Amino acid sequence: MLDWNDIIKLANHGAPAPEKRVEKTEEEWKELLTDEQFRVTRQSGTERPNSSDMCRIFEPGKYACICCGTLLFDADEKFESGTGWPSFTQPASENAIAYHKDKSMGMIRVEAVCNTCEAHLGHVFPDGPAPSGLRYCVNAASLKKV
């Protein structure tokens, strides 16, 4: 189980290698994604809070990257954070997500990206529920339920 210290180490030193890499041109991504999905995943955008029903659905299942299909989260790790974005306590595997220091917006945060295709997912914070204490705050536009 990852905790905040692990996230900081991964942000500073890099994530474990992904099982595969997916690279496409900007034009190829634009052909595959909706305008909103492209803005969020390829341009590090943020969707409006509560803009997706995915925040309120807590049925069993898995969540994959909308861009490349990599398994990112399991619904067993999903929780109601009250933030307006889908929230998870752990990734599906340690090498599913890569972490980057994000100094935008006048603060320091940890950005979470798909480790396979580098799609922006959202951010991870140390204010989630026990036992990990993590809250992966993820844009629904970056996910597909599988």
Structure token digits, residue 125: 């914070």
Give the dihedral sign, CA 6/8/14/19.
Answer: positive
137 annotated active-site: yes
CB atoms within 10 A of CB 116: 23
From the candidates 65, 67, 68, 137, which is the catalytic residue? Answer: 137
Yes or no: say if 142 and 66 are a contact pair by the CB < 8 Å rule: yes
Would you please indicate which residues are annotated as catalytic (active-site) residues?
137
